[in-house]
């Protein structure tokens, strides 16, 4: 029995008949397949050239603390020496002229050290010929680049969380900016969000907080950075006082810190990691935490001995490819913990 191809616009009129119909039908199907149409869906389906990327909470860690990159790669730990002065009372070292033989007082230097553990990181991505060809048919979309973006994001977010909260798996060896065991905690000065303080409460807070810090560090330093929970920071645009309607609470707090510390570059920074809702899984924290500290490498720092690096992509069979990214990082170390002070509530 001969097969027919009918013209749908001519109400069933025969266009091609017999074997010619079969050959024409096969050629038409081949053209459709080669053109990349998925006939089971519709030839009208279009593929967007824009790829929607997932969003994450991201901050510049280096704004919050010194980050040393590229020193001592492949080391297993980093040792830092601390020196201090050992001396008696100044007046015990003085004498009056003409008093004869004087027994000399002695001043010396004490040497101590702190060490930072170093962790290695490695992560592979792989792809095969089928995945590449599928991505090519889906449009101008670079499958390998997207896999690399995903892997680099894992590194960036891991370093970021480690910088603020330390490691979940080793919270004692890898602490973060907000989880230092040797930094003292004040639970009296801040008992509610700063953004909800009245004008009187805000004035008392401003008058107390730097004094708390200087008492803590024995008046050896002024702070230059104040980190606060982002949920509190977001409310700081509210009016500071009915008497000063043109200034919000953030303006007032910034000006107060800058004036008291004599530092016009004093920074107030928000951090989602300081919010109780985001640190509830951290042992010993689970609080709204504020941090006031001296942001310099002699006080605290984090090291990345070996920054994110990738190997060359390779294949052993011409069908599957793989490469590996690797790096090294430490936790945050406070070499001068008294130059940091936490304020907790909640």
Tens place of pLDDT for every residue, the chain, 346 residues?
444 444 444 454 444 445 555 555 555 455 544 544 444 444 454 555 566 667 788 999 999 999 999 999 999 998 776 665 556 676 766 666 665 665 666 666 566 667 899 999 999 999 999 988 888 876 667 889 999 999 999 999 999 999 999 998 887 889 999 999 999 999 999 999 999 998 889 888 988 999 999 999 999 999 999 999 999 999 999 887 777 677 899 999 999 999 999 999 999 999 999 999 999 999 889 999 999 999 999 999 999 999 999 999 999 999 999 999 999 999 999 999 999 999 999 9
pLDDT value of residue 88: 67
Q: Using an 8 Å Cβ cutoff, are 180 and 340 in contact? A: yes
CA atoms within 13 A on the CB side of 286: 5
Element (H, E) at 83: strand 77-86
Among candidate residues 5, 66, 123, 41, the one with its CA nearest the CA of residue 297: 66
Please tell me what DSSP assigns to residue 245. Answer: T
Element (H, E) at 131: helix 129-137
Among candidate residues 177, 209, 178, 108, the one with its CA nearest the CA of residue 332: 177
Give the residues across from 226 on adjacent strands.
Answer: 268, 292
Domain ranges of the chain: 4-34, 69-75+120-346
Question: Under 8 Å CB-to-CB from 322, ≥6 apart: which residues?
Answer: 124, 125, 126, 127, 313, 314, 315
Q: What are the φ and ψ backbone dihedral angles of 179, each rounded to 5 degrees?
A: -130, 30
Q: What is the crossing angle of helices 129-137 and 143-165, to 10°?
A: 100
Asked if the 69-75+120-346 domain carries CATH number 3.40.50.620, the reply is: no
- What CA–CA distance (Å, rounded) separates 184 from 190? 14
- What CA–CA distance (Å, rounded) separates 207 from 195? 16
Exposure b/e, 152-167, CB count within 10 A at least 16 = b: eeebeeebbbbbbbbb
pLDDT value of residue 185: 97
- The number of angstroms, rounded, from the C-alpha of 59 to the middle of its chain's C-alpha atoms is 5
Among candidate residues 44, 116, 16, the one with its CA nearest the CA of residue 75: 116
pTM value is: 0.79
């Amino acid at each position: 029995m001969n097969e027919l191809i009918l013209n749908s616009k001519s109400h069933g009129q025969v266009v091609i008949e017999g074997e010619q119909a079969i050959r024409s039908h096969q050629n038409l199907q081949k053209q459709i397949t080669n053109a990349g149409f998925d006939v089971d869906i519709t030839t009208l389906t279009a593929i967007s050239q824009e790829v929607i990327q997932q969003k994450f909470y991201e901050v510049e860690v280096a704004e919050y603390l010194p980050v040393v990159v590229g020193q001592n790669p492949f080391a297993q730990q980093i040792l830092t020496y601390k020196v201090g002065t050992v001396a008696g009372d100044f007046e015990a070292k003085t004498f009056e002229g003409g008093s004869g033989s004087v027994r000399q007082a002695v001043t010396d230097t004490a040497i101590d050290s702190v060490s930072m553990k170093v962790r290695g990181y490695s992560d592979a991505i792989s792809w095969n010929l089928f995945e590449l060809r599928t991505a090519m048919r889906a449009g101008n979309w670079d499958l390998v680049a997207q896999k690399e973006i995903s892997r680099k994001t894992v590194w960036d977010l891991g370093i970021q969380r480690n910088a603020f909260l330390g490691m979940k798996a080793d919270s004692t060896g890898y602490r973060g900016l907000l989880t230092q065991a040797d930094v003292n905690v004040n639970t009296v000065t801040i008992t509610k969000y700063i953004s909800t303080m009245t004008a009187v409460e805000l004035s008392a807070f401003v008058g107390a907080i730097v004094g708390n810090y200087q008492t803590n560090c024995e008046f050896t330093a002024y702070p230059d950075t104040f980190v606060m929970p982002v949920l509190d920071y977001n409310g700081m645009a509210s009016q500071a006082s009915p008497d000063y309607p043109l200034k919000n609470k953030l303006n007032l707090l910034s000006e107060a810190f800058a004036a008291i510390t004599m530092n016009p570059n004093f920074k107030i920074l928000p951090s989602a990691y300081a919010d109780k809702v985001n640190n509830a899984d951290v042992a010993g924290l689970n609080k709204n935490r504020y941090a006031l500290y001296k942001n310099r490498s002699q006080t605290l720092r984090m090291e990345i001995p070996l920054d994110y690096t990738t190997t060359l992509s390779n294949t052993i069979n011409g069908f599957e490819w793989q490469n590996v990214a690797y790096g090294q990082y430490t936790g945050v170390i406070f070499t001068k913990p008294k130059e940091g002070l936490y304020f907790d509530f909640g």
